[in-house]
Each structure stands twice: as C-alpha cells, then as structure tokens.
Structure 1
Amino acid sequence: MALRTIPIRRAGNRNNLFMGGDRELVMFAGLLAFALIFAAQELRATVFGLTLWFSTLYGCRLMAKHDPKMRQVYLRHRRYVRFYPPRSTPFRSNSGSQGRQYK
C-alpha cells in the first residue's frame, strides 16, 4: 500500500506581510508618518513624514525579501540572550570545573 500524500496549499502557509513588508512594522511606520504629518501640519513635516514612510517601507520590503520572519527571529534572539553560554569559540578547552558547569 502506497503512502497517502496530502498537498499543502500555499494560501494556508503564507507569511503575514502587508505591502511587501512585515505587517506590524509597516503599519507602525505608517502610523508614525501619519501622526507626524497631521500633528505638525507644516511642509517640512510633510516632506519628512513622507520620506520616513517611503524609506521605512523600502527597508521593510528588503527585510521581508531576505527573510519574512526576521522580526520574530530578532525578538526571540533578544529574549534568549541571557541564556547563551559565555564561550568565545566552539573550540575552547574548559577546565574541569568549567566543563562540568555546561553538561
């Protein structure tokens, strides 16, 4: 009897992107640019807000093109930093007491 294959549909396995970038980062950048433009109501603020929006959108798109889950990976990395063992290289030779500490 042959193994049954089940297709994995693309629609159920897509990354959560908005306008080509990470959804939360793009929407937060848009909110900041919108708040800057309409709170200041000056030409300089409008130019700066639009520049901020388009540069952030470009950066988020580049980041999503490289790795769509980069924000989640970075946040997990920040959360686990205190658990990383303090070794300089994988080839370090520990003394007896240091070797027992990491086993």
Structure 2
Amino acid sequence: MEVRSLDSQLPFTTKDGSTIRSILDLSNAPVRMQSLAEATIPAGGSTQRHWHKDSEEFYFLLEGRGTMEIEGEEREVGPGDGILIPAGAWHQIRTDHGVRMLCCCAPPYRHEDTFFE
C-alpha cells in the first residue's frame, strides 16, 4: 500500500512557475499512469502559458479564485471547480487572490513534457 502525506512532501517550482507538492508521482511512488500534486499560485501570480505533449491534466480548485485560459478561451474559476486540460492544449491560470489546487496528470507530470511559446 502506498500512502503519502501532503505535509511530508517538499515543495518545488515547476517549469511553468507554480509551486508544487507532489502527493503521488514518479519521484515518490511506483506510479505508472498518473500523478497527483497540490499547486499554489500566490496573489497576483500566474503560471507561464504552456502545453504538454503527452499529459492530459485536471485542475481542481480548493481555495482562491482565478482566470483559466485554455486555447484562448477564458473562464473565471473558484473552489470546487474541476478543469479538463487536454494534451496539446495551450493553458494558463492567473489569479489576483491566490489559488490552491490539485493537479492530476495522465501520464504522470514530467518537466520534459512542458513546452512554452
């Protein structure tokens, strides 16, 4: 059985600029098909607009509000919102208030699968 406590995970910064604490991923568990992490973006911050060649991604907002942009379409998002980001789709989240969210990637998140303009 694999169980990881969020509080025991050290934060790191991804290539897109968000602060991540991996819950279950390639770095800390025998994961093959997906990864789960908590991401935080401070008030006035954003991720860098990017896309993933291989990974389909879900964001699930736990706290805060922001503007989610996927392929040029924007929508206000907040706690309880789940967002599907298809593989290959340009995306970015911006926030005036700060955001804490869960990120799930399938296949698992890898820095090498993150691309920028």
**TM-score, normalised relative to structure 2:** 0.20
Greater RCO, CA 8 A, separation 6+: 2
Larger Rg: 1
From the two aligned structures, give the one with the greater helix fraction. Answer: 1
